[in-house]
Chain A
């Protein structure tokens, strides 16, 4: 076993030593090509770099292709220059030319290309809570004592896709699994208490329009959208406390229900409107983001047809017949905080229309100054 472990370690070391050696060798090659470029020996540069093109690190490949782009432009070979620039963008999709440093023809060429992502994919996880908005109180006792709702923590996980309409504006679609809940308490019969803890499982499919700041390490964003919310599971547990007095002593008799299936008491298809925002933090070529979202439930979650239904099933329990529980009609909001990761799917490509207008303006401006 130890021998096997030692062999694996030696193997790994061998691979890393070989990679480091290659990188060093190719760095020498890259330096040599740069020297040739500076010496005006443009025709040899391509052949110098070719052996290392598949061995360069990402950063070296960027430098090599920039050198080739400059070289081909000087050799008046725009086709190869464009190919090299495209490869440069493939090596580093976020490469931007430095107008003060890079030759003007490279700057001009860069305006014909973009590597901006058309789509991004993301994943997120977080916590939520669900405020209940009562549409109409329903009473299971003759006394009209309103239910009181309190928040319960939940969690969510989701996957999303983003279509970048512009650098700042995108259309987002997500599929989120949301586990949420709330607690409701009711009073009746001379101070008796009822408390129900309702746990829900949702599949939410939100679609939103998002505005993001497109530059910088920290990129705030905000969005607004509609969501299709499928409530596919709902379970509740009820506790009733019967308060009484016997021989001058207060007695509380507690009855606890088993976990009861409330799915049949809920509408499966619901809708919500939501707003949210957060901040994306650049991490290498991707983003880590923190998101805060408030969803406003639009639909009555309670199935009015089964609100007082008697059930013969043990799972469903008898919330009304056994625990004097009846649902109010309500919508459910959701406040969610998430942390996630965005991977932009960069697509280096030539633009159909070059963005050279601003460049020309700059050139004209500098001519005027001179």
Chain B
């Protein structure tokens, strides 16, 4: 009897153990949620500085950076899949190229803008590549004997005539001007041929004040015949301080109306973008008494009827709003603004400056009025991490590109966030 009771007990316990095992189960890949949110690093030997990114319709992502190693610098490109896995990488340059901007073209390719230094002169270099990062063509341009500092490249389409406008500044100063640096815009055809005439020229805010510095940052298309160049200048204040500055270009690239916006002692525009709601948005770093804030300026576009039938789009006076990081003690340096693909508003990335002057990557989504919907900060304490760019994935998630200082090297960092800016699935 004792034996059989023990046997029954043993069998019961064995059953409990088996049921327990089945009940508890075992974690396998099958019951793990797919890891959608991620931080991934890209680079090779030396340091890599993030510049720009573009999300393709198929969810693949092109990352642009500058790689520096042993005193040389080149354009560095990475193509990743939706999960951030590297599909291919490419390096272009002659050892003196600094990547500046990446722009998709209407034929499905990309143009990469870089600043190219040769024989002591900085020039503009445009490189056309396929989506698989294969080089198609390239061109070097600038103002003979003078430095050119390109900032951005914009694809434009004038009734089927496509091309690219490079915006920046140059030390080439036209005879009638007194600037030390003038804003420049250079247009190239789809096949990277230089446009002659007014599409390659400089523009200055003041013909009278010697020493004026005018910097063009980005050209934005209003329509096929009108463009606006956003930048900053100290021309209006007689060199006392920099202000936001913009000027229009007509259909042949001749500057027209220009204006200044003053929102702080110093205001340095870093980027501009057109939004889906008939407005342009620009961001600038505003400095007052040593503190830096990020200023968002929204330029409404209105339509004026001329001669009772001709509708002309024009840029209205901007509203400006200052964005702040989570802590009022931390400063912000504006880096890039990108209009949101789905719905209104923009994504903004900036450098959040810690009290020890090290930087973190600050990303935010703002609405049309400049209200911050969400913001997030990424980076290690006391390490100098910098924002690069931001874009939206087809599924509404957000990817942020930055440069992360990994103790002894800088690498491109791609951060995949939820649509609410969380580093979560």
Does B associate with A?
yes
Which residues in A have some Cβ–Cβ distance to B below 8 Å? 135-136, 138-144, 165-166, 169, 171, 188-190, 192, 209, 224-226, 240, 242-247, 253-255, 271, 273, 298-300, 304-305, 307-310, 312, 314, 318, 320-324, 326, 329, 331, 353, 355
The 8 Å CB contact of B40, one of A141, A309, A310, A321, is A141
CB nearest neighbor in B for A247: B70
Residues of B within 8 A of A246 (CB): 70
Residues of A within 8 A of B380 (CB): 318, 321-322
**C-alpha gap A94/B126 in the complex (Å):** 94
**C-alpha gap A194/B267 in the complex (Å):** 42
A-B contact pairs, 11 of them (CB 8 A): A140-B39, A143-B85, A169-B6, A209-B14, A242-B409, A304-B32, A307-B35, A308-B37, A321-B39, A321-B378, A323-B406
Expressed in whole angstroms, the minimum distance between the Cβ of A288 and any Cβ of chain B is 26
B385 to A209, Cβ gap below 8 A?
A: no
A140 to B40, Cβ gap below 8 A?
A: yes
Expressed in whole angstroms, the minimum distance between the Cβ of B410 and any Cβ of chain A is 11
Map CB proximity to A onto B16-49 as digits: 1 under 8 Å, 0 otherwise.
Answer: 0100110011111100110101111111111000
Does B191 sit at the interface, judged by CB under 8 A?
A: no
Residues of B within 8 A of A139 (CB): 40, 84-85
Residues of A within 8 A of B406 (CB): 240, 255, 321-324
CB nearest neighbor in A for B40: A142
A300 to B41, Cβ gap below 8 A?
A: no
A300 to B378, Cβ gap below 8 A?
A: no
B1 to A353, Cβ gap below 8 A?
A: yes
B17 to A305, Cβ gap below 8 A?
A: no
**C-alpha gap A224/B404 in the complex (Å):** 49
Which 6 interchain pairs have the tightest Cβ spacing?
A: A142-B86, A255-B407, A166-B6, A318-B380, A321-B380, A300-B27
The 8 Å CB contact of A189, one of B27, B45, B381, B414, is B45
Does B146 sit at the interface, judged by CB under 8 A?
A: no
**C-alpha gap A310/B78 in the complex (Å):** 25
Residues of A within 8 A of B9 (CB): 165, 169
**C-alpha gap A182/B357 in the complex (Å):** 37
B2 to A320, Cβ gap below 8 A?
A: no
CB nearest neighbor in B for A312: B381
Known: A240-B408, A308-B423. A300 touches B44 (CB 8 A): no
B80 to A142, Cβ gap below 8 A?
A: yes
**C-alpha gap A227/B407 in the complex (Å):** 40
A135 to B27, Cβ gap below 8 A?
A: yes
Expressed in whole angstroms, the minimum distance between the Cβ of B185 and any Cβ of chain A is 35
A353 to B17, Cβ gap below 8 A?
A: no
**C-alpha gap A242/B69 in the complex (Å):** 13
Residues of B within 8 A of A355 (CB): 2
Does B377 sit at the interface, judged by CB under 8 A?
A: yes
Residues of B within 8 A of A310 (CB): 377-379, 423
Does B257 sit at the interface, judged by CB under 8 A?
A: no
**C-alpha gap A361/B382 in the complex (Å):** 86
Does B411 sit at the interface, judged by CB under 8 A?
A: yes
Besides A138-B38, A240-B407, 11 new A-B residue pairs in contact (Cβ under 8 A), listed by A number: A135-B29, A138-B35, A165-B10, A188-B41, A189-B409, A240-B408, A308-B423, A312-B381, A318-B380, A318-B381, A324-B41
A166 to B17, Cβ gap below 8 A?
A: no
Residues of B within 8 A of A255 (CB): 406-408
CB nearest neighbor in B for A141: B41
Does B424 sit at the interface, judged by CB under 8 A?
A: yes
Residues of A within 8 A of B46 (CB): 244
B39 to A226, Cβ gap below 8 A?
A: no
Expressed in whole angstroms, the minimum distance between the Cβ of B21 and any Cβ of chain A is 6
B39 to A320, Cβ gap below 8 A?
A: yes
CB nearest neighbor in A for B425: A304
**C-alpha gap A225/B17 in the complex (Å):** 7
Does B13 sit at the interface, judged by CB under 8 A?
A: yes
Residues of A within 8 A of B411 (CB): 189, 324
**C-alpha gap A353/B3 in the complex (Å):** 12
Which residues in B have some Cβ–Cβ distance to A below 8 Å? 1-3, 6, 9-10, 13-14, 17, 20-21, 24-29, 32-33, 35, 37-46, 69-70, 78, 80, 84-86, 377-381, 383, 385, 404, 406-409, 411, 414, 423-424
**C-alpha gap A166/B146 in the complex (Å):** 97
Expressed in whole angstroms, the minimum distance between the Cβ of A231 and any Cβ of chain B is 14
B41 to A144, Cβ gap below 8 A?
A: no
Expressed in whole angstroms, the minimum distance between the Cβ of B312 and any Cβ of chain A is 47
B381 to A314, Cβ gap below 8 A?
A: yes
Residues of A within 8 A of B423 (CB): 308-310
Known: A321-B385, A322-B383. A245 touches B25 (CB 8 A): no
The 8 Å CB contact of A142, one of B26, B32, B85, B407, is B85
Residues of A within 8 A of B17 (CB): 209, 224-226
Residues of B within 8 A of A298 (CB): 24-27
Expressed in whole angstroms, the minimum distance between the Cβ of B66 and any Cβ of chain A is 16
A308 to B86, Cβ gap below 8 A?
A: no
**C-alpha gap A250/B286 in the complex (Å):** 44
Residues of A within 8 A of B424 (CB): 305
Expressed in whole angstroms, the minimum distance between the Cβ of A355 and any Cβ of chain B is 8
B38 to A308, Cβ gap below 8 A?
A: yes
Expressed in whole angstroms, the minimum distance between the Cβ of A258 and any Cβ of chain B is 12
Expressed in whole angstroms, the minimum distance between the Cβ of B77 and any Cβ of chain A is 12
B40 to A226, Cβ gap below 8 A?
A: no
A140 to B409, Cβ gap below 8 A?
A: no
Residues of B within 8 A of A243 (CB): 45
B3 to A166, Cβ gap below 8 A?
A: yes
Residues of B within 8 A of A307 (CB): 35
CB nearest neighbor in A for B29: A136
CB nearest neighbor in B for A143: B86
Residues of B within 8 A of A300 (CB): 27, 32
Residues of B within 8 A of A247 (CB): 70
**C-alpha gap A57/B379 in the complex (Å):** 75
B86 to A244, Cβ gap below 8 A?
A: no
Expressed in whole angstroms, the minimum distance between the Cβ of A249 and any Cβ of chain B is 11
Residues of A within 8 A of B379 (CB): 310, 318, 321
A242 to B408, Cβ gap below 8 A?
A: yes
A190 to B45, Cβ gap below 8 A?
A: yes
B84 to A142, Cβ gap below 8 A?
A: yes
Known: A135-B27, A226-B20, A226-B21. A245 touches B70 (CB 8 A): yes
CB nearest neighbor in B for A134: B29
Residues of B within 8 A of A273 (CB): 21
**C-alpha gap A307/B40 in the complex (Å):** 12
Expressed in whole angstroms, the minimum distance between the Cβ of B98 and any Cβ of chain A is 20
CB nearest neighbor in A for B43: A189
CB nearest neighbor in A for B42: A142
